[in-house]
Amino acid sequence: MAEGCMMALRYGMVFFNLLFWLGGCGILGVGIWLSVTQGNFATLSSSLPSLSAANLLIAVGTIIMVIGCLGCVGAVKESRPLLLAFFILLLLIFFLEILSIMLFFIYQDEIDRYAQRDLKKGLQLFGTEGNVGLTNAWMIVQTDFRCCGVTNHTDWFEVYNATRVPDSCCLEYSDNCGLDNPGTWWTAPCYERVKDWLNENLVALWIFALCTALTQILGLVFSMTMFCQAVKVETFYA
């Protein structure tokens, strides 16, 4: 009976971790593809230049692959150290995610102020040598969200030291349209536009977060149950 239960747990754990590992492979693949094909698309932040979508996906994909591989090998070999290591790593990540969410809501106002200040600082690097990624990122954001500047289109006046905005701020794009009448520019702040977009998709984001949490909880239950069964079987045959 114990062996049959252990066998069912092992197959379930292997299947779960195989899906986990494949998901990590997919995320890593997308991150590498973005890095290769969209290498010039970097971050909007001046203080965190490596915090790009591609780098984040590569990091997350690699972590998921390592944890999935650890759990899969631990299940196949019925290795208690590997199963315990899988459980501890997954539990640590789960707690870090909860802590991050709590800190975000507690310090939301401070995060807002810091983000706006950092983004405005990044505007000063727009169009400068060695900052092609940041320049492209701002052009894409302003074009897609139909906005201009961080908190106002006048943010760009300080960058150019003139009444001028990038051409990506124009209602109808054309070369040097940023020098035209302000009536031909987008005036909505990009920071608020992105926040509005996130609020509009809040349900989808929460569903994704709950699915992620459920997957991690299942992984924790599977690994700890199998670990306990392995201890019982070893004790039984001792």
SS3 170: strand
Quick check: 44 pLDDT over 70?
no
Which residue ranges make up each domain of the chain?
1-237
What is the tens place of the pLDDT at every residue in 78-104? 788 888 888 998 899 899 989 988 998
Weakest-pLDDT range from 26-35, 103-112, 120-129, 151-160: 26-35
Return the percentage of the chain with pLDDT > 70, whole number. 85
pLDDT at res. 74: 81
Does the pLDDT at position 3 exceed 80? no
Query: Does residue 172 or residue 5 have the better pLDDT?
Result: 172
User: For residue 218, what are the contacts with CB-CB under 8 A and spacing of at least 6?
Assistant: 16
- pLDDT of the residue at 135: 85
Global confidence as pTM: 0.76
Place of tokens 């591989």: 69
3-state helix, strand, coil in the chain (%, to 5): 75, 0, 25
- Token look-up 């169009």 returns 127
